[in-house]
């Protein structure tokens, strides 16, 4: 932030009727108040208190005292910008990113990395206790064991994929990230959490698009061609892919454009187009085609090779993904005789890890293209004890059970919203010995663990992994065992 040199400009927008006071609320929009910061929200905002009223102050850290200017007021809480830092935390550090104040990609660069890891563990603990009503073990005591977060030795330049929105600026077509709390595009030529290979590929696409007069999509009017640039870099093979997300099928000067990009980008093996004409914030549409080169690129995690297509879900931090999956395999405690079901299997990443240690693994996923990728990846690695099926896990798993498949271990890796309630019921009916839950959201994790505990399981231990340094996100692997 600019304020992380002096202090923050803040990103809040005053609400309509800004000056009006709410009954019982001790602040009004535009008022500057001194408040003490007592915590952080799940997305890294400082939690401040003023006369018993809660203010969320972006850029403020626990144990700090700040002068905050109120920008939004509600009955229960408000938001404020950091006007002046009056007492700094010992964990505050100078963000190295030049556009950190404007960009919404990171939330915690101003917090020392070791402190980030401590906060992320506490975030997990708080969610388990507050939402899941679980007892977390204190040193040597009874309860759920929550390990320290596994961090990175070098917590920069880790993302192997970037989705860059395109817009207009003073110099014409720009591309970068959305400003915090808005749809305004902040131009970006360097991102310290993105692999440099992707950074240079985005620069090449933008420069050549400007050279050829390619129009940028305007979200307000629905006109313009280029909406997003999606780039991938496979660290194990060096291969690179670019996906041009366009508002329509026809691309002017497409062959010239591809040639210009190829001249500037060594290692580029695939140029694809995705067509998205919908007026929604969803990045990709349903139509994808290869304009030049290969349909996929290849990468590896833990010695397993994966084919990655333009719309494949593939973890963006391969170094930490291997640690996450090894923790999952460890909690599954496989001897080679077990049957394992992997719900939400995606392109088979965890499934194929598990297959090396189990007798048989079954993966289920509702996205047909992901299952096609999973089957292809099994063949690619000559893994013959893995079976994949398209469908909702809560529908497919009972069908497998009727066919004689009785899982010893069920692994779930749901999206941020957590497990579907029907899947929770299905797991409780199948009663595996162990459930290994891989989570990207401590709140929905805690909710689901409570349901599984009430259904006859016990949460044993939790291993948090920092997949996204300098952001508010934390992933966890959890071991649950059946009571009795």
The residues carrying an active-site annotation are: 440
Q: Which of 201, 194, 252, 193 is nearest to 226 (CA)?
A: 252
Rounded to 10°, the helix 421-430/442-454 angle is 40
Q: For residue 355, which phi and psi values (nearest 5 degrees)?
A: -60, -25
Rounded distance, CA 175 to CA 168, Å? 8
Edge-to-edge strands of the sheet including 386-390? 145-146, 457-465, 475-482, 434-439, 409-412, 339-343, 360-365, 386-390
Q: Which of 475, 472, 478 is nearest to 56 (CA)?
A: 472
With tokens 């229960």, the residue in question is: 76
Rounded distance, CA 401 to CA 316, Å? 34
CB 374 within 8 A of CB 366: no
Q: For residue 443, which phi and psi values (nearest 5 degrees)?
A: -70, -50
Encode 234-253: b = buried (16+ Cβ within 10 Å), e = exposed.
beeeebbbbbbbbbeeebee
Complete DSSP assignment for 110-165: TB-HHHHHHHHHHHHHHHHHHTS-PPBPPTT-SSBEEPPPB--SS-SS-BSEEEEE
Rounded to 10°, the helix 196-212/254-264 angle is 140
Structure tokens at 61: 């850290």
Structure tokens at 62: 């626990």
CB 445 within 8 A of CB 474: no
Residues in the chain: 484
Helix (H) or strand (E) holding 16: none
Complete DSSP assignment for 227-269: EEEEEEE-TTT--EEEEEEESSS--TTHHHHHHHHHHH-TTEE
Cα 207 to Cα 105, 147, 201, 261, 277, distances in angstroms = 22, 46, 10, 9, 24
Rounded distance, CA 461 to CA 113, Å? 24
Structure tokens at 306: 């994966």
The rounded Cα 33 to chain-centroid distance in angstroms is: 34
């Amino acid at each position: 932030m600019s304020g992380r040199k002096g202090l923050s400009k803040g990103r809040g927008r005053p609400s309509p009727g800004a000056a009006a006071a709410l009954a019982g609320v001790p602040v009004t929009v535009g008022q500057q108040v001194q408040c003490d910061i007592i915590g952080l929200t799940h997305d890294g905002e400082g939690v401040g208190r003023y006369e018993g009223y809660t203010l969320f102050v972006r850029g403020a850290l626990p144990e700090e005292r700040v002068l905050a200017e109120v920008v939004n007021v509600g009955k229960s809480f408000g938001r404020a910008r950091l006007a002046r830092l009056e007492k700094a935390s010992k964990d505050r550090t100078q963000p190295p990113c030049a556009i950190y104040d404007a960009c919404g990609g990171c939330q915690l660069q101003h917090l020392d990395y070791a402190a980030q890891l401590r906060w992320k563990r506490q975030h997990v603990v708080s969610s388990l206790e507050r939402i899941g009503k679980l007892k977390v073990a204190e040193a040597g005591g009874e309860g759920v064991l929550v390990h320290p977060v596994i961090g990175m030795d070098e917590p920069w330049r880790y993302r192997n994929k970037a989705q860059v929105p395109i817009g207009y600026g003073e110099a014409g077509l720009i591309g970068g990230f959305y400003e915090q709390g808005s749809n305004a595009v902040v131009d970006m030529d360097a991102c310290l959490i993105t692999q440099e290979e992707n950074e240079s590929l985005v620069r090449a696409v933008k420069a050549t698009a400007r050279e050829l007069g390619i129009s940028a999509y305007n979200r307000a009017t629905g006109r313009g061609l280029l909406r997003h640039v999606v780039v991938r870099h496979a660290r194990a093979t060096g291969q690179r892919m670019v996906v041009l997300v366009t508002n329509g099928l026809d691309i002017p000067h497409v062959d010239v454009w591809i040639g210009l990009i190829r001249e500037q980008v060594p290692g580029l093996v695939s140029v694809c187009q995705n067509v998205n004409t919908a007026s929604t914030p969803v990045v990709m549409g349903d139509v994808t085609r290869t304009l030049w080169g290969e349909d996929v690129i290849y990468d590896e995690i833990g010695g397993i090779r994966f084919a990655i297509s333009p719309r494949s879900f593939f973890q963006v931090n391969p170094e930490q993904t291997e640690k996450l999956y090894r923790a999952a395999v460890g909690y599954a405690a496989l001897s080679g005789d077990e049957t394992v079901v992997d719900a939400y299997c995606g392109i088979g990443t965890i499934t194929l890890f598990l297959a090396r240690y189990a007798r048989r693994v079954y993966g289920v996923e509702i996205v047909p293209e992901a299952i096609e990728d999973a089957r292809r990846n099994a063949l690619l690695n000559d893994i013959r004890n893995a079976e994949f099926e398209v469908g909702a896990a809560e529908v497919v798993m009972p069908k497998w059970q009727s066919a004689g498949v009785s899982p010893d271990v069920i692994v779930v890796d749901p999206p941020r919203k957590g497990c579907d309630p029907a899947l929770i019921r299905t797991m409780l009916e199948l009663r595996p010995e162990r459930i290994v839950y891989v989570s990207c959201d401590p709140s929905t994790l805690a909710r689901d663990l409570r349901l599984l505990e009430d259904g006859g399981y016990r949460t044993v231990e939790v291993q948090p992994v920092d997949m996204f340094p300098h952001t508010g996100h934390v992933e966890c692997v959890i071991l649950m065992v059946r009571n009795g």
